[in-house]
Chain A
Amino acid sequence: DGGITQSPKYLFRKEGQNVTLSCEQNLNHDAMYWYRQDPGQGLRLIYYSQIVNDFQKGDIAEGYSVSREKKESFPLTVTSAQKNPTAFYLCASSYRGVGEETQYFGPGTRLLVL
């Protein structure tokens, strides 16, 4: 079955701690995305990558970092510099990252601060 997996489903972060959210896809897509979702605000783009070993900042990249060492994987690290990390994080992918393509979403990770 092709799709996008995200883990864990729930993640708890302590003050000053970095945490990493996993995103894996087996759709053979070149482009991958990380979004943050807060109630009543829609989705906001954190980072995106259109090819291995390359990625670009989205609208709210401060306090986050990513890597794209493999086509299938695009992990997101929420660093201690992100002061308000509590949110629902969604990973998505698309074939090449061009305008009319559908983005396919994973099930999401909910990050909570202890």
Chain B
Amino acid sequence: AQSVTQLGSHVSVSEGALVLLRCNYSSSVPPYLFWYVQYPNQGLQLLLKYTSAATLVKGINGFEAEFKKSETSFHLTKPSAHMSDAAEYFCAVSDPDSNYQLIWGAGTKLIIKP
């Protein structure tokens, strides 16, 4: 079965600094991969997804992620953090063995220091 690992339950960066949130998945078959964002007490919103087209995927709010098959990674980056980026970020992978249901990482809370 698929699994998703997000390294770091909390990541703290200064405003204007690079944001890097890590996601690794377990699969020998290229999967579908997603990054979602959740603001406090709200639902989740899609940031971007990988569906076997370009390996570098651009999303909303200036975020992008690169699919690296050799590293089974799909890390999320943003060149310059903004205070409004403070939220929790979830990586998910679709599991072909479970009717393509999403398997979720535990989430990473992004903290932006002024």
Contact = CB atoms under 8 A, between A and B. Distances in A.
Contacts of A45: 101-102
Contacts of B55: none
Contacts of A43: 44, 90, 92, 102, 104
A48 B101 contact: yes
Contacts of A110: 41
B96 A40 contact: no
Interface residues of A, number: 25
Interface in B4-45: 9, 31-32, 34, 36, 41-45
B87 interface: no
B77 interface: no
A1 interface: no
A50 to B, nearest CB: 8
B43 A106 contact: yes
A107 interface: yes
Contacts of A98: 100
Given A90-B44, A108-B42, A108-B43, A103 B107 contact: no
- Interface bracket on B: 20 to 34
B111 interface: no
Nearest to B100: A99
Contact of A42 (B42, B99, B106): B106
Contacts of B80: none
Interface in A41-76: 41-45, 48, 56, 58
Contacts of A92: 43-44
B42 A107 contact: yes
A52 B104 CA distance: 26
Interface of B: 9, 31-32, 34, 36, 41-46, 49, 51, 90, 92, 94, 96, 99-102, 104-107
5 tightest CB-CB pairs across the interface, nearest first? Answer: A105-B43, A99-B100, A42-B104, A99-B94, A100-B51
